[in-house]
C-alpha cells in the first residue's frame, strides 16, 4: 500500500477511535471557520448596496454631522456586536450550550414574548434586505446598459430609459440555483468572492470621486448639508435628514446573521474571542471604505449626490470603468443575498422537520448526479420547493417596490434598534447578571434608549420618502 494511502487509513482509524477529531462538543461535524472566513462573511453582509447611498446621506447631513454620525454608528455596532458575540454560548464561553441562531440565543436567555418579537424583527429584516439587494442588483445591471446607451447616444438621457424588471427576474433565476447550496459552511467561497467584489467597486467609486474632485479643482458640499433652497421645505429637509440616518444604519447592518456566522467558527480559541476579532477587522475595514466613498462622492457631486453613487451619469467617464464597478456590485449582491437568506432557509426547514419528523418526502435526501466526474448532489424536496418559492416571492415584491434609497432607509431603521442594540444589550445584562441601577446597567439602558430615538426618527423619514415616491409610481413600469 502506498505511504499516502496508509496515512489516510490510519487517520480514518484515529477518527473512529476518537470522535472528537471529527465532531464538535454538540455532536455536529467539526466546524472549520476561522477569523478570516468570519470576516469575509461580515464584509460580504456589510459592504453591500448600503455603501452606494452614503454620499447621498452625507449630502443631507453635511461635512460635520455626516462623518460624525457614520463614526458613531460604527462604534455602536462594534460594541453591541461584541455583546452579542458573548451570547453564542450560555454562561461559559468555552463549554456552555451553543445557540445556533440569533433567535435561539434570545429564546434561551430572555425567553417569553421576546422570542416572538425577535423572530418578527429578524425575519422581516432579512426578507427586506434580500428584497433591497434584488433592487440594488437590478439597478446596477441597468446602469451598465444605461451607461453604454448614454455613451452611444452622445449623452442623450431620454433615449436610455428602461425597466429593471427583466434584470430583477434574471437575478432571481441565479438565486434559485444558488439557494440550493446547503448552509453557511458551504458558501464560504461565495462570501470570499463577494468580499473581493465589494472592495473592487468601493475602490472604483472612490477613484471616480477623487478624479472628479481633481478635475474640478474644488471640494463641493457644505458643513450643514443640503439647505432649504428652491422648493425644499423645512419639513422635507427634516424627512431627508431622518432618512439619511436610516441609510447609514442599514450600511452597518449585520447583527441578524452574527450568531449564524459565529456558529461556523472552529474552537479553540473560543468562538466569541474569534468573532470579536473578526468583527473588529471587518468594521475597521468597512468604516474606512464608507468614510472614503461617502465623503469623496459628496466632495465630487455636492448637493447633487444621488441615492446610488455608481448608477449616476455624473460618473460617465470612463464609462467602461463604471461598467466594471456595477458588474462587481452585481456579483457581490449575488453572494450577499445568500448570506442573508441562509437563516431564513434554516428556519423554514427546521420548522418543517420538527412538525413532520417522519415525513420521508420532506426529510429524505436523494443523490443526483449533475455532471459526470462530480460528486452526487443531495437533493431535498423541501429545500428545493421552499427556497425556490422564497426567491420568487422576493423577486415579485422587488418588481412592485423598486425604490432603492427609500427601501434602504426603512430596512436600516427598522432593524437597527431591536436587532443591533436592544436584544444584544438585554441578553448581555441577563447573561452577565448585571445589577439593576448599577453604573453599567444605567449606561447600557441609556445607549439602548438613545438608539431607539434614532430609529424612530429614521423610520419616519424613510416612510415619508416612500409615500412621495408612490405618488408618481406605476407598478411594473
Residues 71-81: tens digit of each pLDDT: 988 898 899 99
Cis omega (within 30 of 0) for bond into 32: no
SS3 content of the chain, % helix, strand, coil (to 5): 75, 5, 25
- List all residues 6 or more positions away from 252 whose beta carbon is below 8 Å from its beta carbon: 46, 50, 73, 74, 77, 283, 286, 420
Model-level pTM? 0.74
Is residue 277 pLDDT above 80, yes or no? yes
Residues of the chain with pLDDT > 70, as a percent, come to 77
In the chain, what is the straight-line distance between the N-terminal and C-terminal CA atoms, in Å? 68
For 234, other C-beta atoms within 10 Å of its C-beta total 8
Nearest to 249 by CA among 59, 84, 101, 457: 457
DSSP sequence for 325-389: HHHHHHHHHHHHHHHHHHHHHHHHHHHHHHHSTT-HHHH-EEEE--STTSPPEEEEHHHHHHHHH
- Tens digit of pLDDT for each residue in 441-453? 999 999 999 888 8
CA 255/CA 343 separation, integer angstroms: 12
What is the per-residue pLDDT for 57?
84
From start to end of 72-192, where are the E strands?
A: none
What is the per-residue pLDDT for 9?
46
Check the CA dihedral 387-392-397-402 and report its sign. Answer: positive
- Tens digit of pLDDT for each residue in 8-22? 444 444 444 455 567
For the segment 392-404, the average pLDDT, to the nearest whole number, is 78
What is the per-residue pLDDT for 14?
45
Q: Where are the alpha helices (DSSP H) in 217-318?
A: 234-251, 258-262, 271-301
Is residue 267 pLDDT above 90, yes or no? no
CA 360/CA 16 separation, integer angstroms: 29
Lowest mean pLDDT among 85-89, 359-363, 419-423: 359-363
Nearest to 391 by CA among 177, 172, 181: 172
CA 15/CA 233 separation, integer angstroms: 70
What is the per-residue pLDDT for 446?
93
Q: What is the CATH number of domain 31-471?
A: 1.20.1740
Amino acid at each position: 500500500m502506498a505511504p499516502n494511502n496508509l496515512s489516510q487509513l490510519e487517520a480514518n482509524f484515529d477518527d473512529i477511535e476518537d470522535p472528537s477529531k471529527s465532531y464538535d462538543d454538540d455532536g455536529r461535524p467539526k466546524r472549520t471557520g476561522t477569523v478570516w472566513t468570519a470576516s469575509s462573511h461580515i464584509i460580504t453582509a456589510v459592504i453591500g448596496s448600503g455603501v452606494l447611498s452614503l454620499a447621498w446621506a452625507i449630502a443631507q447631513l453635511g461635512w460635520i454631522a455626516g462623518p460624525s454620525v457614520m463614526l458613531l454608528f460604527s462604534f455602536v455596532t462594534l460594541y453591541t456586536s461584541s455583546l452579542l458575540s458573548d451570547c453564542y454560548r450560555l454562561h461559559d464561553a468555552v463549554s456552555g450550550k451553543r445557540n445556533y441562531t440569533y433567535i435561539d440565543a434570545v429564546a434561551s436567555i430572555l425567553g417569553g414574548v421576546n422570542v416572538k418579537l425577535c423572530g418578527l424583527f429578524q425575519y422581516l429584516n432579512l426578507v427586506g434586505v434580500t428584497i433591497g439587494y434584488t433592487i440594488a442588483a437590478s439597478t446596477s445591471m441597468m446602469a451598465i446598459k444605461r451607461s453604454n446607451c448614454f455613451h452611444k447616444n452622445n449623452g442623450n438621457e431620454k433615449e436610455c430609459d428602461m425597466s429593471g424588471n427583466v434584470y430583477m427576474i434574471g437575478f432571481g433565476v441565479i438565486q434559485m440555483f444558488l439557494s440550493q447550496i446547503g448552509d453557511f459552511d458551504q458558501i464560504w467561497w461565495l462570501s470570499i468572492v463577494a468580499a473581493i467584489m465589494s472592495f473592487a467597486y468601493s475602490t472604483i467609486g472612490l477613484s471616480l470621486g477623487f478624479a472628479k474632485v481633481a478635475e474640478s479643482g474644488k471640494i463641493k458640499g457644505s458643513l450643514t448639508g443640503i439647505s432649504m433652497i428652491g422648493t425644499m421645505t423645512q419639513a422635507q429637509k427634516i424627512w431627508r435628514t431622518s432618512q439619511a440616518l436610516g441609510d447609514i444604519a442599514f450600511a452597518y447592518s449585520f447583527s441578524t446573521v452574527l450568531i449564524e456566522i459565529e456558529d461556523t467558527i472552529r474552537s479553540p480559541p473560543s468562538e466569541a474571542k474569534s468573532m470579536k476579532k473578526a468583527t473588529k477587522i471587518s468594521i475597521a475595514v468597512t468604516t474606512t471604505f464608507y468614510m472614503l466613498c461617502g465623503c469623496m462622492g459628496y466632495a465630487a457631486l455636492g448637493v447633487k449626490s444621488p441615492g446610488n453613487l455608481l448608477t449616476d451619469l455624473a460618473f460617465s467617464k470612463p464609462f467602461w470603468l463604471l461598467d466594471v464597478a456595477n458588474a462587481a456590485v452585481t456579483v457581490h449582491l449575488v453572494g450577499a443575498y445568500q448570506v442573508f437568506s441562509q437563516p431564513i432557509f434554516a428556519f423554514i426547514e427546521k420548522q418543517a422537520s420538527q412538525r413532520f419528523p417522519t415525513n420521508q418526502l420532506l426529510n429524505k435526501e436523494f443523490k443526483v448526479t449533475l455532471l459526470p466526474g462530480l460528486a452526487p448532489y443531495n437533493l431535498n424536496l423541501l429545500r428545493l420547493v421552499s427556497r425556490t418559492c422564497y426567491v420568487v416571492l422576493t423577486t415579485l415584491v422587488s418588481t412592485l417596490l423598486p425604490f432603492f434609497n427609500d427601501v434602504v432607509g426603512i430596512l436600516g431603521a427598522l432593524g437597527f434598534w431591536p436587532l443591533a442594540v436592544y436584544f444584544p444589550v438585554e441578553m448581555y445584562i441577563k447573561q452577565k447578571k448585571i445589577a439593576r441601577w448599577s453604573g453599567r446597567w444605567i449606561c447600557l439602558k441609556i445607549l439602548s434608549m438613545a438608539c431607539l430615538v434614532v430609529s424612530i426618527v429614521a423610520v419616519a423619514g424613510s416612510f415619508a420618502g416612500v409615500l412621495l415616491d408612490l405618488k408618481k409610481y406605476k407598478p411594473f413600469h
